[in-house]
Amino acid sequence: MTGTDGNLLEVKNLRTYFETEDGTVKAVDGISFQLKRGETLGIVGESGSGKSVTNLSIIRLIPEPPGKIVAGEVIFNGNDLLLLPNEAIRKIRGRRIAMIFQDPMTSLNPFMKISKQLMEMTQLHLGHTKAQARDHAIRMLETVGIPDARTRADNYPHEFSGGMRQRVMIAMVLSCEPELLIADEPTTALDVTIQAQILELIKKLKSETGTSVILITHDLGVVAGMTDHVIVMYAGKIFEQARTAELFSLPGNPYTKGLLRSVPDPTAEQGKLYQIPGLPPDVAHLRPGCPFAPRCDRVEEICRREFPPFVQLNADHYSLCHFAREVYSESGGTPL
Partner 1 sequence: MSTNGSSLLSIRDLKVHFDLGGGGPIDKLFGTNPVRRVVKAVDGVSLDIYERETLGLVGESGCGKSTLGRAILRLTEPTDGQVFYRDRDLAHLSQRQLREQRRHLQIIFQDPYASLNPRMTVGQIVGEPLETYRLARGREAEQRVQELLETVGLSKRFIKRYPHEFSGGQRQRIGIARALAVDPDFIVADEPISALDVSIQAQIMNLLDKLRREKNLTYLFISHDLRAIRHVSDRVAVMYLGKLVEIADAKTIYHEPLMPYTKALISAVPVPDPQVEATRQRIMLEGDVPSPINPPSGCRFHTRCPYAIDACKEVVPQLVEIKPAHFAACIRISPAQPHIETVAPGAAPGLED
The residues that touch partner 1, with contacts defined as CB under 8 A, are 46-47, 147, 161-164, 191-197, 199-200, 218-225, 244-245, 248-249, 258-260, 262-267, 270, 272-277, 279-280, 295
> Hey, which residues does 314 pair with through a beta bridge?
317
Nearer to partner 1, 26 or 295 (CB): 295
Please spell the DSSP secondary structure of 166-196, one letter per residue. Answer: HHHHHHHHHTT--SEEEEESTTTTS-HHHHH
- Smallest distance from the beta carbon of 290 to partner 1, in angstroms? 16
Distance CA 331, CA 309 (A): 19
Nearer to partner 1, 82 or 199 (CB): 199
Strand bridging mode 97-100 / 180-184: parallel
Distance from the first to the final alpha carbon of the chain: 15
For residue 186, say if its preceding peptide bond is cis, omega within 30 degrees of 0: no
**C-beta neighbour count of 128 within 10 angstroms:** 20
The residues, any chain, with a CB within 8 Å of residue 198's CB and separated by 6 or more, are 163, 166, 167, 170, 186, 187, 190
Distance CA 292, CA 50 (A): 15
- Smallest distance from the beta carbon of 8 to partner 1, in angstroms? 22
Residue 74 CA from chain centroid, whole number = 15
- Smallest distance from the beta carbon of 195 to partner 1, in angstroms? 7
- Smallest distance from the beta carbon of 222 to partner 1, in angstroms? 5
Nearer to partner 1, 2 or 47 (CB): 47
- Smallest distance from the beta carbon of 210 to partner 1, in angstroms? 20
Nearer to partner 1, 234 or 318 (CB): 234
Nearer to partner 1, 90 or 204 (CB): 204
Nearer to partner 1, 180 or 222 (CB): 222
Cα–Cα distance list, 143 to 81, 118, 182, 190 (Å): 31, 13, 19, 20
- Smallest distance from the beta carbon of 218 to partner 1, in angstroms? 6
Nearer to partner 1, 95 or 165 (CB): 165
Distance CA 318, CA 322 (A): 12
- Smallest distance from the beta carbon of 183 to partner 1, in angstroms? 15
Distance CA 113, CA 136 (A): 15
